[in-house]
């Protein structure tokens, strides 16, 4: 187990470096650069800019220097916000994304798991059909439609919650609901399918046969196997939630990482793009590792090689 974790942790570093390499290649492939605007620069000025940012060196040397900085976890200064360090930008904006993201995922887990379990236990009941149709609705209504509709109903008509800006609990309610809708729908569907499959399996019959109460069968045996699909979904979902979700940040004016990333891509702000992508990929891999470890606790049949 320990050697499995160590091996996977060691793999995170080369994988993150590969992700950064591919991203760097992509950014360099696109024509234009961060300093190119509507006006074409005089060649002398362009040469000076290139010299300042080391763009006049051979591309291999540029790549090497970039990689050296990444390995030292120093992503350098942003090109568009010259007074701000990339690490600083991530530190400043990540907490906002993380707060909204974690709250949204917790809400999605609480409601999605409950709905999924009840729907599976009362298969083909009115609750089953109702909650699954509702879940389908959650998958189908884009969040940039849901968010503004919630704002116009609850903020602009009923004056219950502030329409935008980050500050205090009340301002979090609408963004968290908007963000969690689709995850809630996914979790409810995954839980229902997983529970249906598990509750028909032999070990549940054994548990029932040895006289365990239905509650114990469900919560101690059924749930552990039934939520494995949800656990697999949690890794990538939580990582993308933590990284910030652009739509919700835009609609509710939250200063999260998602918008910063989109801006950095549009600005061709290379250090910022690479920094956020590296941060994000490490996050994804760590969450996936956590998911793989938790399989062992949920299903004793799963072994680590």
Partner 1 sequence: MTENTQPIQGTSLWKDAWKRLLKNKLAVFGLIVLGIMVIAVLIGPAIIRWTTGFTADYIPSDVGIGELVASFPPSWQHPMGTDEAGRDLLARVLQGGRISLMVGIISTIVSLIVGVSYGAIAGYMGGKIDNVMMRFVDILYAIPYILIVIVLLSVFGGPNTPDWIKWLAELFGGAGNAGLSQIFLLFFALGLVSWLTMARVVRGQILSLKNQEFVLAARATGVSTLGIIFRHLVPNALGPVIVYATLTVPSVMLSEAFLSFLGLGVQAPYASWGSLAADGIKNIAIYPWQLIFPGVTMALTLFSLNFVGDGLRDALDPQTRKF
**Which residues in this chain contact partner 1 in the complex, by CB under 8 A?**
15-16, 18-19, 22-23, 26-27, 29-32, 123, 136-137, 139-142, 144-145, 148-149, 151-152, 156, 193, 196-197, 236, 243, 246-247, 250-251, 261-262, 265-266, 273, 277, 280-281, 284-285
147 close to 139: Cβ distance less than 8 angstroms: no
Shortest distance in whole angstroms from residue 265 CB to partner 1: 5
Q: In whole angstroms, what is the distance from residue 109 CA to residue 112 CA?
A: 5
Whose Cβ is closer to partner 1: residue 47's or residue 139's? Answer: 139
Whose Cβ is closer to partner 1: residue 212's or residue 292's? Answer: 292
∠ CA 250-241-293 to the nearest 5 degrees?
175
Shortest distance in whole angstroms from residue 189 CB to partner 1: 9
Residue with tokens 């220097």: 65
Whose Cβ is closer to partner 1: residue 32's or residue 167's? Answer: 32
Whose Cβ is closer to partner 1: residue 123's or residue 216's? Answer: 123
Shortest distance in whole angstroms from residue 149 CB to partner 1: 7
CA-based end-to-end distance of the chain? 8
115 close to 143: Cβ distance less than 8 angstroms: no
Shortest distance in whole angstroms from residue 5 CB to partner 1: 18
- The token pair at 294 is 């938790």
Shortest distance in whole angstroms from residue 184 CB to partner 1: 15
132 close to 192: Cβ distance less than 8 angstroms: yes
- The token pair at 240 is 């993308």
Residue with tokens 């970039």: 66
**Does an H or E element contain 254, and which?**
none
Shortest distance in whole angstroms from residue 8 CB to partner 1: 13
Cα dihedral angle (128, 130, 132, 133), rounded to 10 degrees? Answer: 150
The crossing angle, in degrees rounded to 10, of helices 270-298 and 257-267 is 140
Shortest distance in whole angstroms from residue 133 CB to partner 1: 8
Whose Cβ is closer to partner 1: residue 67's or residue 212's? Answer: 67
Whose Cβ is closer to partner 1: residue 98's or residue 265's? Answer: 265
Which of 120, 142, 238, 230 lies closest to 186 in space, CA to CA? 230
Shortest distance in whole angstroms from residue 285 CB to partner 1: 7
Whose Cβ is closer to partner 1: residue 48's or residue 123's? Answer: 123
Whose Cβ is closer to partner 1: residue 38's or residue 83's? Answer: 38
96 close to 166: Cβ distance less than 8 angstroms: yes
Cα dihedral angle (284, 285, 288, 292), rounded to 10 degrees? Answer: -170
């Amino acid at each position: 187990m320990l050697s499995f974790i160590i091996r996977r942790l060691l793999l995170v570093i080369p994988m993150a470096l590969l992700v950064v390499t591919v991203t760097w290649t992509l950014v360099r492939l696109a024509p234009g650069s961060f300093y190119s605007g509507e006006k074409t620069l005089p060649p002398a000025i362009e040469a000076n800019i290139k010299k300042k940012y080391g763009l006049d060196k051979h591309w291999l040397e540029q790549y090497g220097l970039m990689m050296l900085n990444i390995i030292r976890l120093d992503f350098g200064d942003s090109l568009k916000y010259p007074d701000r360090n990339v690490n600083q930008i991530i530190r400043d904006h990540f907490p906002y994304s993380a707060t909204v993201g974690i709250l949204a995922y917790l809400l999605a887990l609480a409601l999605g798991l409950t709905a999924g379990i009840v729907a599976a236990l009362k298969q083909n009941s009115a609750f089953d059909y109702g909650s699954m149709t509702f879940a389908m609705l959650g998958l189908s209504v884009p969040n940039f439609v849901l968010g503004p509709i919630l704002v116009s109903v609850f903020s602009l008509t009923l004056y219950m919650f502030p329409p935008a800006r980050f500050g205090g609990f009340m301002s979090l309610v609408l963004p968290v609901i908007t963000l969690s809708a689709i995850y809630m729908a996914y979790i409810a569907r995954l839980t229902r399918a997983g529970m249906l499959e598990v509750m028909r399996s032999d070990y549940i019959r054994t548990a029932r046969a040895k006289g365990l109460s239905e509650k114990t069968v469900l919560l101690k045996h059924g749930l552990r196997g039934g939520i494995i699909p949800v656990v697999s979904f949690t890794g990538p979902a939580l990582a993308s939630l933590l990284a910030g979700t652009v739509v919700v940040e835009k609609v509710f004016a939250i200063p999260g990482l998602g918008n910063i990333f989109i801006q950095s891509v549009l600005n061709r702000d290379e250090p910022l793009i690479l920094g956020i992508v590296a941060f994000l990929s490490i996050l994804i891999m760590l969450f996936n590792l956590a998911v793989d470890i938790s399989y062992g606790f949920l299903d004793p049949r799963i072994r680590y090689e």
